[in-house]
C-alpha cells in the first residue's frame, strides 16, 4: 500500500443514504433550501442552526420530501406546546401537519407529537423521524435518549434539529452520532478522545485528531448561526440589542471571626450552591418583583428551585407553570403567554425554555441560575431571536456566594462559541461542495523538465 492510499484509508467517510430532492418549497430562503437539499441527500442529518433561523420550516420541508419519496408517513417529536406552534408554521408555509397523540391518529403525511407520547407509536410505520430540540439526546443516562435511539434504529431517514447540540461538551455530540447510526458514542470516544485519568471523568480531544474530528462531524451535521455562515447576506437576520444586567444580593454568610472586613463565602459544591440560593431567595424574589413594576409589558421570570417559583407567584400574581402540572394546562399556558393572554409567566427553563417563540416579550428575569449554560441560553433565546423588534432586557439575580456559578456559565459559553466556530467553516465547505458544486479542483503538479537558471540571474 502506498503512503497516499494509507492516508486515504484513515479517512472517516460516511456513505449518504438519502436521495435527490424534488423542487424545494419556494417560501424558504435560498440558504435554507441549500440546507434542506443537503439534509435530504444525506438521508440522516443534524441541523445545528441557531434559534430563529427557521428550523421548523426546514424540518417540515425535509419531512415532506421523505413523504413524497416513500409514500409513507413521517413523525416529528417535539417539546410540549411546540406541536401546535409547528402546525401553525406549517399552515404559513403550505404544509399539512397532523398533531397526534397515538398511532391511531397518524395520517399518511407529516405527523407531530410530544416526546412523552413516544411509547404510543409504532416506529415500523414511519419512513422518517425528526427530532425537534434534539438536545434531549445529550443526556448520557437519559431513559428518553435510550428509548429514542433504540426505537428508531432502523428508520431510513432521520433529522435532528437543535440550536445547542452540545453547548459545553464535545463528547455529547456522540449521542447525536449514535442516533444517526454513524458511530456509537463509545467508538467516537476511543477514536478521537483520550481520558484525562483524573477524578473529573473528562474526555479530551486528541490534538492530532482535532481537524479530522470536525471534518467527520461535518459529514453528518451542519452548523448555521446566520446566513453569512454559508456565504449569504444576513438581511432580516440582525438581532436587536441584548442588555444583560447582573444584580447581586448580599450574602448573609461568610463573616469569619478575626476578619476586619466582610468576605462572602463562595459556594463551590452543588450542596453549597443550593444552600446559598435558599438563603437568599426572599431577597432575590423581591428584587424581581420590584423590576416588573417598572415596565407594564410582559415578563418572563425564570427560576431554578420550586420554592422560588412558589414565592414569586404569591408576590407577583403571575401565572406559574410547574413540572407537576397537567400536560394540557402547561400547553395552554405556554401558548397563552405567546398570545399575550397574561402578563407574567413564571417557570423553569427545563420546563418552558425550549422551542417556544415569544418575540412579543422583551423582558425577563433569572431569579436563580443552575450550572447549565444550555438552559440559560435557550431561555434567553425564547425572546431574543430573529423577528424580535425590541431590545431584550435580561436581569440575572444571584447572591454573592454564587460567583462560582456565574463563572462556570461564562466558561461554558466560551466553549460553545469555539465549537460553533470550528464547525462553521466545514459547514460552508459542505454546502459549496455538495449542493452548489463550486468546490475548487486542483491537479497534482508533476514536473517533467528540469529548470535551467538564466546566466544573468545566476550571476
Q: In this structure, what is the dihedral angle of CA atoms 129, 133, 135, 137, given to the nearest 10 degrees? A: -30
pLDDT value at residue 207? 81
In angstroms, what CA-CA distances link 346 with 101, 288, 357, 432? 27, 11, 16, 45
The fraction of the chain above a pLDDT of 90, given in percent, is 48
- Phi, psi (degrees; rounded to nearest 5) at 97: -115, 125
pLDDT band at 259 (very low <50, low <70, confident <90, very high): very low
* Lookup result for grid cell 420550516: 57
Q: Is the Cβ–Cβ distance between 254 and 263 less than 8 Å? A: yes
Check whether 265 has a pLDDT greater than 60: no
pLDDT band at 7 (very low <50, low <70, confident <90, very high): very low
pLDDT value at residue 272? 67
β-bridge mates for residue 132, sequence order:
161
The fraction of the chain above a pLDDT of 70, given in percent, is 85
Higher pLDDT, 325 or 274: 325
Please name each of the domains of the chain with its CATH number: 31-235 (3.40.50.10810), 242-254+267-410 (3.40.50.300)
Q: Is the Cβ–Cβ distance between 435 and 38 less than 8 Å? A: yes
With residue 117 as reference, give the H or E element that holds it.
none
pLDDT value at residue 141? 55
257: Cα within 13 Å, side-chain hemisphere: 0
Higher pLDDT, 370 or 365: 365
In sequence order, what DSSP letters do the residues of 258-324 get, joined into one string? T-SS--PPPP-SHHHHHHHHHHHHHHHHHHHHHHHTS--S-EEEE-SSHHHHHHHHHHH--EE--TT
pLDDT value at residue 260? 41
Check whether 441 has a pLDDT greater than 60: no
β-strands 193-195, 203-205 pairing: antiparallel
Higher pLDDT, 283 or 413: 283
Over residues 70-93, the pLDDT tens digits come to: 999 999 999 888 998 999 999 999
**Which residues, including other chains, have CB under 8 Å from residue 189's CB and lie 6 or more apart?**
171, 174, 203
In angstroms, what CA-CA distances link 98 with 82, 105, 252? 13, 8, 54
pLDDT band at 442 (very low <50, low <70, confident <90, very high): very low
In the chain, the N- to C-terminal Cα span, in Å, equals 46
CA of residue 366 relative to chain centroid, distance: 20
pLDDT band at 264 (very low <50, low <70, confident <90, very high): very low
DSSP annotation of 116 reads: G
Over residues 206-249, the pLDDT tens digits come to: 888 888 888 899 999 998 988 998 989 988 788 899 999 988 88
pLDDT band at 404 (very low <50, low <70, confident <90, very high): low
pTM of the model: 0.80
* Lookup result for grid cell 435527490: 20
Over residues 186-207, the pLDDT tens digits come to: 899 889 988 876 655 677 888 8
pLDDT value at residue 266? 53
80-89, 153-162, 296-305 — which is least confidently predicted?
A: 80-89
Check whether 45 has a pLDDT greater than 70: yes
Average of pLDDT values for 354-378?
87
Amino acid at each position: 500500500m502506498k503512503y497516499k492510499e494509507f492516508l486515504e484509508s484513515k479517512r472517516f467517510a460516511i456513505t449518504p443514504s438519502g436521495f435527490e430532492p424534488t423542487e424545494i418549497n419556494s417560501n424558504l430562503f435560498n440558504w435554507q433550501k441549500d440546507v434542506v437539499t443537503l439534509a435530504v441527500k444525506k438521508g440522516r442529518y443534524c441541523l445545528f442552526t441557531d434559534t430563529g433561523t427557521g428550523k421548523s420550516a426546514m424540518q417540515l420541508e425535509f419531512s415532506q420530501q421523505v413523504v413524497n419519496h416513500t409514500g409513507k408517513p413521517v413523525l416529528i417529536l417535539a417539546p410540549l406546546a411546540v406541536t401546535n406552534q409547528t402546525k401553525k408554521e406549517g399552515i404559513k408555509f403550505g404544509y399539512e401537519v397532523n398533531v397526534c397523540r397515538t398511532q391511531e391518529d397518524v395520517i399518511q403525511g407529516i405527523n407531530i407529537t410530544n416526546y412523552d407520547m413516544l411509547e404510543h407509536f409504532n416506529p415500523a410505520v414511519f419512513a422518517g423521524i425528526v427530532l425537534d430540540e434534539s438536545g434531549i439526546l445529550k443526556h448520557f443516562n437519559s431513559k428518553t435518549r435510550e428509548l429514542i435511539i433504540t426505537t428508531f434504529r432502523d428508520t431510513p431517514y432521520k433529522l435532528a434539529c437543535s440550536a445547542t447540540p452540545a453547548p459545553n461538551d464535545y463528547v455529547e455530540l456522540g449521542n447525536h452520532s449514535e442516533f444517526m447510526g454513524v458511530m456509537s458514542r463509545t467508538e467516537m470516544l476511543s477514536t478521537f478522545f483520550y481520558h484525562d485519568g483524573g477524578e473529573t471523568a473528562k474526555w479530551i480531544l486528541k490534538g492530532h485528531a482535532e481537524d479530522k474530528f470536525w471534518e467527520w462531524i461535518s459529514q453528518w451535521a451542519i452548523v448555521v448561526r446566520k446566513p453569512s455562515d454559508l456565504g449569504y447576506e444576513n438581511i432580516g437576520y440582525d438581532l436587536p440589542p441584548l442588555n444583560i444586567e447582573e444584580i447581586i444580593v448580599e450574602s448573609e454568610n461568610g463573616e469569619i471571626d478575626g476578619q476586619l472586613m466582610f468576605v462572602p463565602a463562595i459556594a463551590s459544591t452543588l450542596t453549597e450552591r443550593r444552600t446559598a440560593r435558599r438563603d437568599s431567595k426572599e431577597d432575590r424574589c423581591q428584587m424581581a418583583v420590584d423590576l416588573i413594576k417598572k415596565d407594564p409589558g410582559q415578563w418572563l421570570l425564570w427560576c431554578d428551585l420550586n420554592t422560588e417559583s412558589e414565592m414569586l407567584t404569591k408576590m407577583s400574581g403571575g401565572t406559574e407553570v410547574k413540572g407537576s402540572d397537567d400536560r394540557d394546562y402547561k400547553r395552554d399556558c405556554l401558548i397563552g403567554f405567546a398570545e399575550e393572554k397574561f402578563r407574567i409567566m413564571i417557570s423553569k427553563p427545563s420546563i418552558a425554555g425550549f422551542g417556544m417563540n415569544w418575540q412579543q416579550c422583551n423582558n425577563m428575569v433569572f431569579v436563580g441560575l443552575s450550572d447549565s449554560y444550555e438552559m440559560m441560553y435557550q431561555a434567553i433565546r425564547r425572546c431574543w431571536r430573529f423577528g424580535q423588534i425590541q431590545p431584550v432586557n435580561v436581569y440575572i439575580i444571584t447572591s454573592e456566594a454564587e460567583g462560582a456559578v456565574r463563572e462556570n456559565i461564562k466558561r461554558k459559553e466560551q466553549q460553545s462559541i469555539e465549537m460553533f466556530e470550528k464547525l462553521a467553516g466545514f459547514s460552508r465547505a459542505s454546502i459549496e461542495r455538495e449542493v452548489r458544486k463550486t468546490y475548487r479542483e486542483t491537479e497534482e503538479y508533476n514536473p517533467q523538465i528540469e529548470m535551467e537558471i538564466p546566466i544573468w540571474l545566476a550571476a
